[in-house]
Chains A and B, each alone.
Chain A
Amino acid sequence: MPIIVKLDDMLYERRMSLTELSERIGITLPNLSILKTGKARAIRFSTLEAVCEALQCQPGDLLAFDPTASAEEA
């Protein structure tokens, strides 16, 4: 998928585990894991807002667009 989720990098930068983020924003670990691995097909603004708030970052820090990535790798 051309949209790259950089949640893993942000978590590393903030020295935060996925479990901790899950507890902070109230989104289940499996759902966050789907987001982290780039398997999500869509992200709610409310989720994006919660993640940005918890990690003190901007949506652009979490998402990137790579046109060379295959659209079928969903």
Chain B
Amino acid sequence: MPKNTYPDTLSLSRKVLRVLKELNLLMGFLISALLIASLVAAEPVMAALGVRRTGDTSTLFLGMRLIMVIGIVAVPITQRVLGRLLSIVESVLVGTPFVSANAVRLQQIAWGILGLELLHLAVGIVAASVASDANPLALRWTFSLTRWLAVLLLFVLARVFEQGARMREDLDGTV
């Protein structure tokens, strides 16, 4: 019965989202530590990351640090996306999903995912511009229609929620 399985699914989602938020913060901390370490002791850190000491590696080092910075920038955006999603899940759990606050949250998630997708693109551009045959980077940007469609879908869904919330408000005063 869907009525019985939904709350369990939602509770599970809430737990997963909370864990993901913690993991995201941990990821941010680890990337920050790696960036600091790469500035303090560049050679050993880059060697540990698999960079071979062939030719001029300064551009590659700079590119890798830039990618780390992009990774750090992505952390608060991801945190915001996960936080908004968690708020939506909690509103469904208490039985009030069709509220204008959720429409705003969905729109913020859409902007967040768009931002993350652009950061992903930036990583690809940096990786492509600093990688060479001697020092290739395993980070490669690939176009994914699914991800861009997801962004579009989220914006559409936000508008659907906005309309739904308005209809719900109307219905609340109907006898």
Residues of A near B173 (CB, < 8 A) are 34, 39-42, 74
Partner of A32, one of B170, B172, B175: B175
Q: How far is the CB of B131 from chain A (nearest CB, A)?
A: 62
What is the CA–CA distance of A40 and B174 in the complex, to the nearest angstrom?
6
Distance to closest chain A CB from B174 (angstroms) = 4
- Residue total for A at the interface (Cβ-Cβ under 8 A): 13
Q: How many residues of B contact A (CB 8 A)?
A: 5
Q: Which residues of B contact A74 (CB under 8 A)?
A: 173
How far apart are B66's CB and chain A's nearest CB, in angstroms? 55
A27 at the interface (CB under 8 A from B): yes
Query: Which residues of A35-55 have CB atoms within 8 Å of chain B's CB atoms?
Result: 35, 39-44, 47
In the bound complex, CA of A40 to CA of B170 (Å): 10
Q: Which 9 A-B pairs have the closest CB atoms?
A: A41-B173, A42-B174, A35-B175, A40-B175, A31-B175, A43-B175, A47-B175, A40-B173, A34-B175
What are 24 A-B interface contacts by the 8 Å CB criterion? Answer: A27-B175, A31-B175, A32-B175, A34-B173, A34-B175, A35-B175, A39-B173, A40-B173, A40-B174, A40-B175, A41-B170, A41-B172, A41-B173, A41-B174, A42-B170, A42-B173, A42-B174, A42-B175, A43-B174, A43-B175, A44-B174, A44-B175, A47-B175, A74-B173
- Interface residues, chain A, CB within 8 Å of chain B? 27, 31-32, 34-35, 39-44, 47, 74
